């Protein structure tokens, strides 16, 4: 069988389960780290336990395959970028940015972005004041 990448192996774990038996131990070892890291999003303690120097990485990947034997599509959390339920930070609209920059005499948008990231409450307070005028 040709060399497989981690996305192929994930496909075999969740969708094409019959293909998993054709994955070589070398491919399992080569792709273990990234797959274990992704499974660590939902199962951090298990992933941390398996991510030891002395762990047989091919067998550890076999463990994950057996663990998900009754799951037939990748769970939604698998493709998320990071653990937890992080929400996107609200940003200022272009018109609000322009208003705050003019009101507070800020000449560079990157400076405003920095201030908003670190002093969000202060910038929002100044925006309220600027909107009142």
d(CA 28, CA 59): 9
What pLDDT does residue 3 have?
80
What is the value of pTM for the model shown?
0.56
**Could you give the 3-state DSSP secondary structure of residue 82?**
coil
Q: pLDDT at position 89, please?
A: 59
C-alpha dist (Å) from residue 104 to 69, 95, 119, 122: 59, 14, 14, 11
Q: What are the tens digits of pLDDT across the range 9-55?
A: 888 888 888 889 989 999 999 999 988 988 888 888 999 999 888 99
Q: Where are the domains of the chain?
A: 6-79, 94-132
Instruction: Please identify which residue in the block is written with the tokens 């069988």.
Output: 1
What residues have CB less than 8 Å from 6, skipping those under 6 apart? 31, 34, 35
| DSSP secondary structure letter of residue 40 | T
Torsional sign, CA 12, 7, 30, 4: positive
- Using one digit for the tens of pLDDT, what is the confidence trace for 42-66? 888 999 999 888 999 999 999 999 9
- State percent of the chain over pLDDT 90: 19
103 or 29, greater pLDDT: 29
What mean pLDDT comes out for the span 58-80? Answer: 81
CA-based nearest residue to 61, from 52, 71, 50: 50
């Amino acid at each position: 069988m040709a060399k497989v990448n981690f996305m192929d192996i994930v496909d075999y774990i969740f969708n094409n389960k019959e293909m998993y038996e054709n994955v070589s131990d070398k491919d399992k070892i080569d792709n273990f780290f990234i797959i274990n890291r992704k499974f660590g999003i939902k199962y951090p303690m298990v992933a941390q336990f398996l991510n030891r120097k002395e762990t047989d990485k091919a067998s550890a990947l076999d463990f994950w395959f057996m663990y998900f034997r009754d799951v037939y599509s990748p769970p939604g959390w698998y493709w998320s970028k990071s653990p937890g339920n992080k929400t996107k930070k609200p940003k200022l609209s272009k018109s609000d940015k322009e208003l705050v920059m003019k009101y507070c005499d800020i000449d560079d948008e990157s400076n405003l972005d920095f201030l908003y990231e670190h002093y969000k409450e202060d910038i929002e307070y100044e925006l309220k004041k600027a909107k009142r005028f």
